[in-house]
Amino acid sequence: MNTLDWLTALAAIDTTSRNANLGLIETVRDDLRRQGLDPRLTHNAEGTKANLFCTLPARDGGTQGGIALSGHTDTVPVDGQDWTSDPFKLTERGGKLYARGSCDMKGFIACAVGMVPEFLATPRARPLHLAFSYDEEIACIGAPVMLADLQARGVRVDGCIVGEPTSMKPVVAHKGLNAWRCRVHGKAAHSSLTPRGCNAIEHAARLICAIRDVAEAWRAEGPFDDCYDVPYSTITTNMVSGGIAMNTIAQLCEFTYEFRNLPVVPPAEVQARIEAYVQGELLPRMRSEYAEARVEFENLAAAPGLDASEQAAITQLVRALTQDASVRKVAYGTEAGLFQRAGIPTVVCGPGSIEQAHKVDEFVEPDQLAQCERFLRQVAESL
């Protein structure tokens, strides 16, 4: 099957992140097996989802080193979107290929899988690997499972290309994404008897303001990197709930905040700063009202930023093949930071425009897929 056949097949499998992705993974796995390959699946705890990692060995059978082509198999939902055609049926209209995931990022996966026979026929001194993950769209949950398995098995990969939509231009950096839920536990009381309670909402509000202070300090003092749209790290509280009645002091207030750190800002330090405020100021205050007051944090997402080295062989290769030397840094997160943190130099380069991703009537242009095929052919030849 060629790229178009594969994209048609992949688009027809609804891999919205809330669903199992096994239909897609097993379809790819079976095809790779028929070609004599030995794909390895790593599942989530429930067994409903899997990553696929498959090595296309070098000419001499070598499986260490080489380059990985990475893509996520899940997509964002189509809920509430008014699509012109069935989002799970690849439809050509006006020279564009429409389907959920056509651009983000089944187009890249279709190119990679469709070209396996060609990759196998290319005399390579080093291996090529396919690395397809689950649950990228919900905070990059699958890729760490695959990376841990590679590490446990001692599989070494020299470089990685994450094929997220960049219009086939190299992206060398993106911010990290971290999300946390915070639960502030106070004490309920009738609202006429305020000294008997400990108002979780009011104390949570102080903490939310302290988080806002972090945001304002970043904005005023940096660090800055002008290659980004928003050239500093950001942090913001985006959901809050608390209280049960208008005449009852709230026992519980819960909120979530999210920060997008420049790669030079370690996320652990950001969280430590927030927790230091809680320990040093908020809790002593709360406990003067109620000895058992407490504040809990739960991490919801932790995708590290990417900051590729210009010296890395993979960066130089992708720059050479795309003939593009511009330094592009983007606001959206990808799995690239996870690969980099695992010691695998990584850049982002894939077909389609990020403008199309996640939207109604998502599409990819056939020319982008053709460019991607040419690019992947050259990647294989470089090995």
Residues marked active site are found at: 74, 136
Residues binding Zn ion: number (CB under 5 A): 3
Q: Which is nearer to Zn ion, 101 or 345 (CB)?
A: 101
Element (H, E) at 330: strand 329-330
> From CA 307, how far away is CA 190, in angstroms rounded?
53
> Does residue 365 interact with Zn ion by CB under 5 A?
no
Site for Zn ion in 43-102 (CB under 5 A): none
Which tokens hold the place of 228?
């980004």
Site for Zn ion in 163-192 (CB under 5 A): 164
Element (H, E) at 183: strand 176-185
Residue 261 near residue 233 (C-beta atoms within 8 A): yes
Residue 69 near residue 162 (C-beta atoms within 8 A): no
Q: Please report where in the chains the tokens 């911010």 appear, as a residue.
A: 175
For residue 229, CA distances in Å to 8, 59, 120 come to 34, 44, 41
Stretch touching Zn ion by CB under 5 A, among 36-44, 103-111, 154-162, 232-240: 103-111
For residue 367, CA distances in Å to 97, 138, 259 come to 10, 29, 36
Q: Which is nearer to Zn ion, 108 or 255 (CB)?
A: 108
Q: Which is nearer to Zn ion, 11 or 249 (CB)?
A: 11
Please state whether beta strands 173-174 and 363-364 pair in parallel, antiparallel, or not at all (unpaired): unpaired
Residue number, nearest CB to Zn ion = 104
Stretch touching Zn ion by CB under 5 A, among 33-41, 143-151, 161-169, 212-220: 161-169
Q: Which is nearer to Zn ion, 167 or 237 (CB)?
A: 167
Q: Give the nearest distance from C-beta 160 to Zn ion in angstroms.
A: 15
Q: Give the nearest distance from C-beta 368 to Zn ion in angstroms.
A: 15
Put residue 352 in one of left, alpha, beta given phi > 0 → left and psi -120 to 50 → alpha: left
Q: Please report where in the chains the tokens 């407490």 appear, as a residue.
A: 294
Q: Give the nearest distance from C-beta 186 to Zn ion in angstroms.
A: 40
Beta sheet of 252-261, edge-to-edge order = 234-242, 252-261, 176-185, 294-303
Q: Give the nearest distance from C-beta 309 to Zn ion in angstroms.
A: 23
Q: Give the nearest distance from C-beta 16 to Zn ion in angstroms.
A: 13
Dihedral Cα 27, 30, 35, 36, nearest 10 deg: 150
Q: Please report where in the chains the tokens 């330090």 appear, as a residue.
A: 269
Q: Give the nearest distance from C-beta 360 to Zn ion in angstroms.
A: 16
Q: Please report where in the chains the tokens 């049926």 appear, as a residue.
A: 89
Site for Zn ion in 260-289 (CB under 5 A): none
Which tokens hold the place of 358?
């996640």
Stretch touching Zn ion by CB under 5 A, among 85-93, 159-167, 259-267, 296-304: 159-167
Q: Which is nearer to Zn ion, 164 or 307 (CB)?
A: 164
Q: Which is nearer to Zn ion, 127 or 305 (CB)?
A: 305
Q: Which is nearer to Zn ion, 14 or 164 (CB)?
A: 164
Closest CA to 81 of 382, 359, 366: 359
The one among 104, 361, 362, 365 contacting Zn ion by CB under 5 A? 104
Which tokens hold the place of 141?
């949950």
274 phi and psi angles, rounded to 5 deg: -70, -45
Q: Give the nearest distance from C-beta 79 to Zn ion in angstroms.
A: 18
* Interacting residues with Zn ion (CB under 5 A): 104-105, 164
